[in-house]
Amino acid sequence: MGAQAGPTFEVADAARWATGRAARWLAPVVLAGGWLIAFAVAVAGDTQPCSAADPSVCGPSVPFAWASVALFATPILLWWMPLVGCVAGIGFAVFDLAADPVPAARVAFAVHGAVCLIAAAWLLTARRRQLVRASVVARPVMIEPGVTVPDPRAARRWSARTVVALLLVLVGALAQLRYRHDSLAVERHVAGADRVDVRVQRTDTDNDVITVQLPGNGGRAEIGVYDAGTYREGSSVPVLLDTAGPREWVRLVAEPPDVTPWLTAGLGAFALAALLASRDWAARSARRRLLESSMAGIDMFGQWEIGAKVTLRPAVNARAVASVRVVPPEQAGVLPGDDPWTDERAMRYGRWWRDEDTLAEHDRHDVTESGPTPFGSPWPVTVAGSLRDGGWVILLTETGVLLPTAPLRTRQPDDDLPPPGGPDDEWAAVEDPLSTLGDKDEDGAFDRPPGSVVETGWSGQLPPLPLVLRERGRNRLVGAAMALALVGAPVVVGLGLLQDWWQVLLVLLTGANVGLRGWARVVRGLWLEREELAVNSGFLVHRVPWARLHGVRRDEQALILAWEPNVMARVGPFDSRSFGSGSFGSGSFGARSFGARPFRADPAADGSTAERAGALLLRLRSLATAAGSPDGTAFTRPGSVWAVAAYYLLVAVAAAWLCHLH
């Protein structure tokens, strides 16, 4: 059956069901904070100095390298997958009690493991409590003939998680190869080395490096140590010396070389890849299982949010008590019965966006402070499956079944935060522009769209198309300077100017963050063609047929574009010199942009750059709709930033390898 009339949650009962989950702050705040305290105590309590009589004190430990995966994964998993994070914390605590020679570390992580055990029991009890509370009104449901049942494979097999998991497998394999290479090299050196006593000539406590005098005419050698302050100048220390290679290999006997961090990094990458892949596997398995078996269901009301997310509420006017992400209806071939985005409503919305009409009463209250509701009023739905926080459910509507892509998440009153204030980044497209940028009347309903209408009409000759409108020149210049980090960071690493692995990682990550943002600044722009326009933010490119463009509004030196059904992008400010008296260049949108032609606007034209750019867009929209251009559908594809990111990943790996050779 689809959604049928049946016993629904009373508002109070639904609130009790939602609040039956464990508190959200438990794992990411209490347990993760406890992990930080335990780690700090363990480090502070490890005061035993390195010893040549017992090199294992500061030497590598393969078992600890394996256990370190659980150690460093615990705080991340506590935030991401609390129950799995608790298991990781308990597992490491058991290992630490059995193998750690530092008493303070054993006590600290034992206490943290005990707290994780209590928290895990709380999480499991809360899940059971929610299932019991839901069973009071739950009823058996079945899918009746005639209801559209999508193929469980409708969801993309190659999701973003799967792609990231594959990349992590590659990273893990490279780390394992690096570990194997370095460990074999260390074994060869140790096998061919002689143990000799050398004199400490100088200690560098700032960089933890000591300089020793080698026997004979060997000269001096610098050796990195854990704490240079523990070595006195003039004292004698035993070292392993191998002179068989092209250059001398010298290591302290008390501090054997440790290459196990590469082992830990590789195992960690494999573990994270397995967790990501398991989420996709769990989603596919749950979809098949729910469609093939009987289920317990509750009748509620669903409402669309951004990103194929459905909020669930016990009554039309009640607060949302849960949410679930589903396979997009157009992808699964299912559309809920109440789909208010008809052609008529889209036209009415467009007239309102262009200040040609007022928003209808029911439309105005679809975008009040209760939350973004870009797809209109709630529609009846039966929620069936494991009715608890973190459980897998399917949504049965009047016309079909919506399959989940993520587990059910219940909400508490403190989860209902006010809607965001709009995108921080110009050129970022967001859905539901009303709930983020619209102006409200005294009743809390949105009275008019953001900004003001573009009042200036385009007069004179139209520029040749296609045409590219670029961002302001100084913003692009700053972006070009930032993009140099994509070259500078790998060069600094590849030249061997950094010594510690954390410095290499920090420089490469900073270069990626700064450089990719700079590249996005350089390539931002509007691509205007006769049939459509494209908005390039660097990260994404939105291609919109002119017939699907609701309109253009001005907000100071920027423009706000809105297109069907509910997407908005703030673009600009544009380069005033290029628009007023210069030419529009090409190249922002890949190979197709090489055909863009230069255009020189009238330098004496009145109005600001944003006003004239808006007038040009509206003129092109008017001509396209009057000529009956094909409607088409707006769509989004990845921008050039992702290709640059792939290049940077390869260059960064090569630079890290060169750094190791140095």
Q: Mean pLDDT across the chain, nearest whole number?
A: 77
State residue 419's pLDDT score.
33
Greater confidence (622 vs 650) lies with 650
Q: Which residues contact 30 (CB under 8 A, 6 or more apart)?
A: 115, 119
Q: Which residues contact 502 (CB under 8 A, 6 or more apart)?
A: none
Nearest-10 Cα torsion for 599, 604, 607, 609: 30
Closest CA to 17 of 391, 403, 279: 391
Q: In the 3-class helix/strand/coil scheme, how is 245-295 assigned residue by residue?
A: CCCCEEEECCCCCCCHHHHHHHHHHHHHHHHHHHHHHHHHHHHHHHHHCCE
Residue 545 main-chain phi, psi, to 5 deg: -60, 145
If pLDDT is split at 50, 70 and 90, which confidence band does 116 have?
very high
State residue 487's pLDDT score.
92
Give the percent of the chain with pLDDT over 90: 21
Is 80 exceeded by the pLDDT of residue 364?
A: no
For tokens 């863009």, the residue is 596
The arithmetic mean of pLDDT across residues 545-571, rounded, is 78
For 536-570, the DSSP string reads E-SSEEEEEEGGGEEEEEEETTEEEEEETTTEEEE
- Token pair for 92: 């490491």
- pTM summary value: 0.62
For 417-478, the DSSP string reads PPPP---SSTT-EEE-HHHHH-EE-TTSSEEE-SSEE--PPP-SPPPPSSEEEEBPHHHHHH
State residue 313's pLDDT score.
86
CA 542, 545, 551, 554 torsion: positive or negative? Answer: positive
Q: Which residues contact 16 (CB under 8 A, 6 or more apart)?
A: 133
Is 70 exceeded by the pLDDT of residue 309?
A: yes
d(CA 555, CA 623): 24
Is 70 exceeded by the pLDDT of residue 109?
A: yes
Is 50 exceeded by the pLDDT of residue 470?
A: yes
- Token pair for 21: 């989950």
Greater confidence (439 vs 506) lies with 506
For residue 197, what are the CA distances in angstroms to 36, 57, 70, 191, 476? 40, 20, 39, 18, 60
If pLDDT is split at 50, 70 and 90, which confidence band does 496 have?
confident
State residue 3's pLDDT score.
47
Burial (CB < 10 A; 0-12, 13-18, 19+), residue 134, is buried
The arithmetic mean of pLDDT across residues 229-237, rounded, is 89
The arithmetic mean of pLDDT across residues 350-366, rounded, is 59
State residue 365's pLDDT score.
39
Is 50 exceeded by the pLDDT of residue 543?
A: yes
For tokens 């909400």, the residue is 411
State residue 112's pLDDT score.
95
Q: Which residues contact 491 (CB under 8 A, 6 or more apart)?
A: 655
Give the percent of the chain with pLDDT over 70: 77
**Of the given ranges (326-330, 536-540, 595-599, 635-639), which has the lowest mean pLDDT?**
595-599
Is 80 exceeded by the pLDDT of residue 407?
A: yes
- Token pair for 445: 């309903």
State residue 343's pLDDT score.
62
**Of the given ranges (34-48, 122-136, 227-241, 592-606), which has the lowest mean pLDDT?**
592-606
d(CA 365, CA 377): 9
d(CA 560, CA 557): 10
Asked if residue 450 lies in contact with residue 560, where contact means CB atoms within 8 angstroms, the answer is yes
Asked if residue 416 lies in contact with residue 409, where contact means CB atoms within 8 angstroms, the answer is no
Number of helical (H) and strand (E) elements in the chain, helices listed first: 17, 25
Is 90 exceeded by the pLDDT of residue 269?
A: yes
Q: Cβ–Cβ contacts within 10 Å for residue 36, how many?
A: 11
State residue 204's pLDDT score.
87
Closest CA to 369 of 422, 434, 304, 311: 434
* DSSP single-letter state for residue 228: G
Is 50 exceeded by the pLDDT of residue 277?
A: yes
- Token pair for 276: 């990501």
Asked if residue 210 lies in contact with residue 204, where contact means CB atoms within 8 angstroms, the answer is yes
d(CA 530, CA 629): 9
Q: For 2-17, how does the pLDDT look when each residue is reduced to its tens digit (9 = 90+)?
A: 444 445 567 788 888 8
Q: For 636-659, how does the pLDDT look when each residue is reduced to its tens digit (9 = 90+)?
A: 788 888 889 888 988 988 888 887
Asked if residue 153 lies in contact with residue 283, where contact means CB atoms within 8 angstroms, the answer is no
Q: For 502-536, how does the pLDDT look when each residue is reduced to its tens digit (9 = 90+)?
A: 788 888 888 888 899 899 888 888 888 888 888 88
558-563, strands of its sheet edge to edge: 429-431, 567-571, 558-563, 549-555, 452-453
State residue 631's pLDDT score.
64
Is 80 exceeded by the pLDDT of residue 626?
A: no
The arithmetic mean of pLDDT across residues 266-283, rounded, is 90
Is 60 exceeded by the pLDDT of residue 599?
A: no
**Of the given ranges (180-194, 353-367, 485-499), which has the lowest mean pLDDT?**
353-367
Q: List Cβ<8 Å contacts ≥24 apart for 506-512.
A: 508/652, 508/655, 508/656, 510/485, 511/485, 511/486, 511/648, 511/652, 512/485, 512/486, 512/645, 512/648, 512/652
Length reported for the chain? 662
635-638, strands of its sheet edge to edge: 467-470, 525-528, 532-536, 540-545, 635-638
User: End-to-end CA distance of the chain, in Å?
Assistant: 68
Asked if residue 272 lies in contact with residue 168, where contact means CB atoms within 8 angstroms, the answer is yes
Residue 402 main-chain phi, psi, to 5 deg: -105, 125
The arithmetic mean of pLDDT across residues 581-594, rounded, is 34
d(CA 308, CA 403): 11
If pLDDT is split at 50, 70 and 90, which confidence band does 110 have?
very high
If pLDDT is split at 50, 70 and 90, which confidence band does 617 have?
confident
Q: For 52-89, how does the pLDDT look when each residue is reduced to its tens digit (9 = 90+)?
A: 888 888 889 999 999 999 999 999 888 888 899 999 99
In this structure, the strands spanning 635-638 and 540-545 are antiparallel
The arithmetic mean of pLDDT across residues 592-616, rounded, is 52
State residue 469's pLDDT score.
82
Residue type (1 letter), 484: L
In this structure, the strands spanning 139-141 and 295-305 are antiparallel
Nearest-10 Cα torsion for 268, 271, 272, 275: -160
d(CA 519, CA 511): 12
Burial (CB < 10 A; 0-12, 13-18, 19+), residue 552, is buried
d(CA 469, CA 461): 17
State residue 526's pLDDT score.
86
Residue type (1 letter), 30: V
Q: For 205-222, how does the pLDDT look when each residue is reduced to its tens digit (9 = 90+)?
A: 888 889 998 887 668 888
State residue 415's pLDDT score.
44
* DSSP single-letter state for residue 311: E
Closest CA to 385 of 439, 332, 312: 312
